[in-house]
């Protein structure tokens, strides 16, 4: 697949992803996600329905320390700022970081960063990346519930906007979330964003994307999904597939589909 990200950025991402997988394994058994199927509201992402107690502050702080160490090795220029950030990351701050990452609050991180002499993007990046291993556990714990959700355009687990699906040889789609690694299917074929079920409204964008990928657009709501034709598409690779196909997001947006994403 063609890629628009630099090798340096890719290497950094790869190291972060590897460490996040290790952290997920380390966290298993340390924190438990209890989901009671009958009590789950199928019209709301799971992350909005459970108490924040599933991300204990002390474990989140360890996750932040571990990922900052990876980042420091690749980007020594950030070491001082990362030390400042980790120094400030007490239990109360950790809880704010968790909460504000879950609601994508850039305003909070801008404010916090300016008060602590840290770049806003870095505070937001560490806050979000440190949460990912917990989100992986949440997706694992809710695996059997996700297919029955009736949400439009959002990951049923973590509420990330949908943009990626794997297509098997029978044409069946498995939606993949690059943020929490959830994988789910729709009960009947339809647009994941608006529910449109007239198949003629869902078309493949007529652009050169290579054999392995395709951009499916909905003519009713003007949203898109990147499809990857991979027979075995483990959800753990969703973030890698997403990075590898970043150019397709630009292509779809240039053609007038989707919302403008900020990278």
Q: Which residues contact Zn ion by CB under 5 A? A: 155, 157-158, 160, 177, 179-180, 182, 191, 193-194, 196, 218, 220-221
- 184 vs 187: CA distance, rounded Å: 10
Alpha helices in the chain (DSSP H): 7-27, 57-74, 79-88, 91-102, 106-116, 120-141, 238-244, 246-254
Q: What is the CA radius of gyration of the chain?
A: 19
Which residue lies nearer to Zn ion by CB, 89 or 235? 235
Q: Compute the least distance from the CB of residue 102 to Zn ion, in Å.
A: 11
Q: Compute the least distance from the CB of residue 135 to Zn ion, in Å.
A: 7
Which residue lies nearer to Zn ion by CB, 87 or 200? 200
Tokens 């602590």 belong to which residue?
Answer: 116
Structure tokens at 234: 């483990």
Which residue lies nearer to Zn ion by CB, 62 or 196? 196
Which residue lies nearer to Zn ion by CB, 16 or 78? 16
Q: Compute the least distance from the CB of residue 232 to Zn ion, in Å.
A: 20
Q: Which H/E stretch holds residue 166?
A: strand 164-167
Tally of CA atoms within 13 A in the half-sphere of 62 that contains its CB? 12
Tally of CA atoms within 13 A in the half-sphere of 183 that contains its CB? 15
- 65 vs 72: CA distance, rounded Å: 10
Q: Compute the least distance from the CB of residue 153 to Zn ion, in Å.
A: 8
Q: Compute the least distance from the CB of residue 177 to Zn ion, in Å.
A: 3
Task: Report the SS3 class of residue 196.
Answer: coil
Which residue lies nearer to Zn ion by CB, 61 or 138? 138
Q: Compute the least distance from the CB of residue 194 to Zn ion, in Å.
A: 3
Tokens 């949460």 belong to which residue?
Answer: 131
Which residue lies nearer to Zn ion by CB, 28 or 198? 198
Contacts of residue 244, Cβ cutoff 8 Å, sequence gap at least 6 = 1, 3
C-beta contacts of 258-263 below 8 A and 24+ residues apart: 258/163, 258/222, 258/223, 258/224, 259/161
Which residue lies nearer to Zn ion by CB, 147 or 196? 196
């Amino acid at each position: 697949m063609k890629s628009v990200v630099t090798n340096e950025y890719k290497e950094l991402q790869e190291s972060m992803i590897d460490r996040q997988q290790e952290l997920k394994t380390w966290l298993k058994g340390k924190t438990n996600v209890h989901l009671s199927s009958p009590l789950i509201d199928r019209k709301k992402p799971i992350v909005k329905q459970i108490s924040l107690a599933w991300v204990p502050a002390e474990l989140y702080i360890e996750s932040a320390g571990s990922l900052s160490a990876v980042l420091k090795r690749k980007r020594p220029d950030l070491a001082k700022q990362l030390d400042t950030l980790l120094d400030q990351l007490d239990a109360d701050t950790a809880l704010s970081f968790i909460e504000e990452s879950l609601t994508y609050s850039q305003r909070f991180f801008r404010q916090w960063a300016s008060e602590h002499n840290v770049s806003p993007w870095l505070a937001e990046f560490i806050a979000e990346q440190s949460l990912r291993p917990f989100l992986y556990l949440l997706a694992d714990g809710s695996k059997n519930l996700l297919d029955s959700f009736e949400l439009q355009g959002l990951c049923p687990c973590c509420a990330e906007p949908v943009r990626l699906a794997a297509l098997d040889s029978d044409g069946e789609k498995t939606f993949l979330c690059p943020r929490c690694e959830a994988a789910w299917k729709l009960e009947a074929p339809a647009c994941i964003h608006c529910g449109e079920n007239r198949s003629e409204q869902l078309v493949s964008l007529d652009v050169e994307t290579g054999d392995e990928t395709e951009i499916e657009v909905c003519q009713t709501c003007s949203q898109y999904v990147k499809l990857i034709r991979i027979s075995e598409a483990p959800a753990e690779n969703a973030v890698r597939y997403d990075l590898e196909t970043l150019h397709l997001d630009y292509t779809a947006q240039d053609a007038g589909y989707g919302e403008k994403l900020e990278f």
